[in-house]
Structure 1
């Protein structure tokens, strides 16, 4: 009886936390601007702290300060739409990662530098693509007119595709799952669950696409790509945790673990979604230029 009550309480916490987070994300996405910047900043900040703590279990000491510097710089540049300077920050961040070890670093030197650079990309650069998606605009392109202020529509499609990937993977995996997808990293995830998650993601993507006036073929292709990226993001975070010997990234979110546990799918999905919408939906000339190069 005690076990049942504990399970019910855990599920209740999970539902309440998930609902609050979902509403908060929707509010910030619709509002855009400062609220979205604050939300992404907080997620990156707490995710970075969890990342550093996880790697301590492996004896690695990535520089929290260097990663947070990269995070702040990325968000500031994106807020100001100074996109050309992002490569400079990646370069500077890499140099600072070495400096953090050169002058007061501890062993293992190479691993500490590498995990600092990885943290800057994984915990900062990739998540901030959510802001970039929101800033997308097809006005004046003459190629497509998406409602919901363009970026908002693309962001909603990305958000719901990831959510329904998780829902579908859990349902189909529980009902029909037999063959393990990645047994070493995450034994409970199955091929059937993965296929089911992709299927529900496609349905969600096409439905959202109808509301935002996105051609069905773009909704279909984007949903498959984003869903695949989301599942890879989930597995990648599981890889980090399993190698470090930890079950959850933290306990900040009741019923969900930590920020990394809740946002792992979005970390890979956001940049993939952005580059698809940017280069294949809005600025199609990039694709044509690429084709010309290979011809």
Structure 2
């Protein structure tokens, strides 16, 4: 299992890092949109209920809207109208998605009167916001294009911020894994994730705090702010993991997918990112 996880990481991590550092942020926006689409497909595979009544299927119009949300910050930056994930463009696109979503459900209800229209719309909207909207904060963070000089190497501030975030998440997760296996004795949330321990969780938090402080000089941040961001990532990343575990336990599945061997699906790998990216953007993007 560990060997498979490592092999997948050796392939996936360089590709994701390439998307982050490519100038302009366009490649990351595209990558996050594709990841959101894959995550939404995983979600609907688990949560759609077609074999029993009432038939429940997340509204595909809202799912499509969710998959496109990570592109929205890049689009707004290109046309010179920032405020993507929280501004007027989000509201306008949501109105359009809901309008066409209602029409879609109306057409389906004529053919299948037993369909749970409200559930379909609600499930589609939840999935779009949970996966697409939260994923879009990665693009919002990346669109901080101010150049930062690091000993002769120039990198856009958003790219540096994302690299910092991913370092906290990946190193924190790995630290929790090994510490939990070595000395983990007290279960953190046995009903949701039996393998997680308080010892591993504390190690994760400490690692994120340390990496956060290291990043203070790179991003020209005061130590208190860098430490606060790191601690927040340590807490929110683990809450994102536990929240996704609750979604899986509710449907009796171990993983949302298997597209990433040894790691599960996209949602299994990016659950911490979804909760922590908005936090880092809040402090770096304002």
**TM-score normalised to the size of structure 2?**
0.83
**Residues 136/77 of structure 1: CA separation in 2 closer, same or farther (3 Å cut):** closer
Please report how far the alpha carbon of residue 261 of structure 1 lies from its aligned counterpart in structure 2 after TM superposition. 1.0
Residue 244 (structure 2) aligns with:
237
Q: 1:64 aligns with which of 60, 67, 76?
A: 60
Tell me if structure 1 keeps the 8 A contact 2:241–2:272.
yes
Tell me if structure 1 keeps the 8 A contact 2:229–2:279.
no
Structure 1: give runs of 5+ residues left out of the alignment. 1-9, 140-146, 280-295
Tell me if structure 1 keeps the 8 A contact 2:141–2:162.
yes
160-169 or 108-117, larger mean C-alpha shift: 108-117
Please report how far the alpha carbon of residue 130 of structure 1 lies from its aligned counterpart in structure 2 after TM superposition. 0.8
Q: 1:25 aligns with which of 12, 16, 25?
A: 16
Please report how far the alpha carbon of residue 274 of structure 1 lies from its aligned counterpart in structure 2 after TM superposition. 0.8
Tell me if structure 1 keeps the 8 A contact 2:56–2:119.
yes
Tell me if structure 2 keeps the 8 A contact 1:126–1:271.
yes
Q: 1:203 aligns with which of 187, 200, 210?
A: 210
State the Cα deviation string for residues 217-248 of structure 1 (Å, max 9, x = none).
22100001122111111111111111111111
- Match of 2:195, SS? strand
Q: CA separation in 1, counterparts of 2:233 and 2:95?
A: 28
**Residues 216/36 of structure 1: CA separation in 2 closer, same or farther (3 Å cut):** same
Please report how far the alpha carbon of residue 266 of structure 1 lies from its aligned counterpart in structure 2 after TM superposition. 0.6
Residue 137 (structure 2) aligns with:
129
Structure 2: give runs of 5+ residues left out of the alignment. 148-153
**Residues 188/100 of structure 1: CA separation in 2 closer, same or farther (3 Å cut):** farther
Please report how far the alpha carbon of residue 185 of structure 1 lies from its aligned counterpart in structure 2 after TM superposition. 1.4
Q: CA separation in 2, counterparts of 1:278 and 1:80?
A: 15
Residue 46 (structure 1) aligns with:
38
Q: CA separation in 2, counterparts of 1:238 and 1:60?
A: 21
Count matched residues: 263
